[in-house]
Structure 1
């Protein structure tokens, strides 16, 4: 927060379990109360589980569904209700949506609905000038990636992109910034930004 303020911007911190819709509503309430309205809503929430299909428990499935699908649905829903006209909504998903691989059944599988949420919301919110997009990074060089990967898997992911290496957050942030500003005409789309890791 101090870094944001150092740039001359205002910020608020809200800690909440967003798997509960009431907390998503409260998040938007706080933003509207503080800033008078919301123009841009970006959802970066996600959780990875790398595990064989036959070993995944019901509790793990429910948690992955809540974090990767449910939050996205109700975040987009509340953004659609609360954003000012000509607002922008963007959700971070995963390039595994275009991969032919095992072990990520709940991660990729439960991010997949967000593509349709994006299409449906863009169609419904379009008359108000609101664009809705999703961005699908490749494996990113952040702690989010390394927690479930072995050294061999990390080496594979680094070698799998056509441009070589893992996705850097500096490759993703400008794309999202573009989509929620000058690139507003792009809507209902999932953009794969992964250096050629996957494509479709």
Structure 2
């Protein structure tokens, strides 16, 4: 039996990279998946097509998670199509690789608006509308504990997400809703590979005990487990999925 049969999952930032893989992994486990995207409509449609071709159920919904009204609209669409929401995966995020000295007000604000305010909007809506026994899973980064140059605002945003998640776990625990964090290491995504020089990519690869960068499909099994009833006694935790990166 598939672990997530009759469950509905929303994945923010689900059109590309880790998010696209998470959507397909959740669907393969039986979930009906809402693929959220901000601007990549074609990519989101492709994710939906792949899920449906494999026998799953999915829909794409445009929403900018940094806008509260958009997140409300996202949940509205999920409930209208599938009747309820059981799982929220807060995956949408942006990064700017610049030193603190070089980072502009606009760049800093954008990282915080998407990575922190966007997750806050998702958590707030989930706390109001997730079914009892539901799951909130938020994506952080192992970079939050590595204190690397040019990662300052990004690391700050991920640290904030982890603290929000722990508080949410306490608040929603009486309803049987869990809130956990998955913390990937450097991963072969368009965002990481396209914004870094080869020397830095090689250096980050060598930090992993397993000697490679992560792949988006390394994350799927962990997300499916945390979204399933099997993880019911795990909440308020940060789960590193990073190949021993330190």
Per the alignment, residue 70 of structure 2 pairs with 23
Out of 92-101 and 6-15, give the one that drifted further.
6-15
Is 1:143 matched with 2:194? no
Indicate the RMSD between aligned Cα atoms, in angstroms.
Answer: 1.0
> Given that residues 100 and 152 in structure 2 are in contact (C-alpha distance below 8 angstroms), is that contact kept between their aligned partners in structure 1?
yes
Per the alignment, residue 83 of structure 1 pairs with 130
Per the alignment, residue 108 of structure 1 pairs with 155
> Given that residues 65 and 119 in structure 2 are in contact (C-alpha distance below 8 angstroms), is that contact kept between their aligned partners in structure 1?
no
Cα deviation 1:27-49 (Å, max 9, x = unaligned)? 00100111110111111111111
Q: TM-score, normalised by structure 1?
A: 0.96
Per the alignment, residue 96 of structure 1 pairs with 143
Provide the C-alpha distance between the structure 2 equivalents of 1:12 and 1:150, rounded to a whole number of angstroms.
36
Is 1:134 matched with 2:181? yes
Alpha-carbon shift at residue 103 of structure 1 (Å)? 0.9
Alpha-carbon shift at residue 147 of structure 1 (Å)? 2.1
Q: TM-score, normalised by structure 2?
A: 0.78
Structure 1 gap ranges (5+): none
The equivalences for 1:52-67 within 5 A come to 52-67=99-114
The equivalences for 1:151-190 within 5 A come to 151-181=198-228, 182-190=230-238
Q: State the SS of the aligned residue for 1:85.
A: coil
Provide the C-alpha distance between the structure 2 equivalents of 1:40 and 1:108, rounded to a whole number of angstroms.
25
Provide the C-alpha distance between the structure 2 equivalents of 1:5 and 1:150, rounded to a whole number of angstroms.
37
Q: State the SS of the aligned residue for 2:171.
A: helix
Out of 123-132 and 139-148, give the one that drifted further.
139-148
- Count of aligned residue pairs for this structure pair: 198
Alpha-carbon shift at residue 7 of structure 1 (Å)? 2.5
Provide the C-alpha distance between the structure 2 equivalents of 1:100 and 1:11, rounded to a whole number of angstroms.
38
Provide the C-alpha distance between the structure 1 equivalents of 2:49 and 2:218, rounded to a whole number of angstroms.
23
Is 1:196 matched with 2:244? yes
Higher relative contact order (CA 8 A, sep 6+): 1
Q: State the SS of the aligned residue for 1:84.
A: coil
Structure 2 gap ranges (5+): 1-47
Provide the C-alpha distance between the structure 1 equivalents of 2:87 and 2:128, rounded to a whole number of angstroms.
13
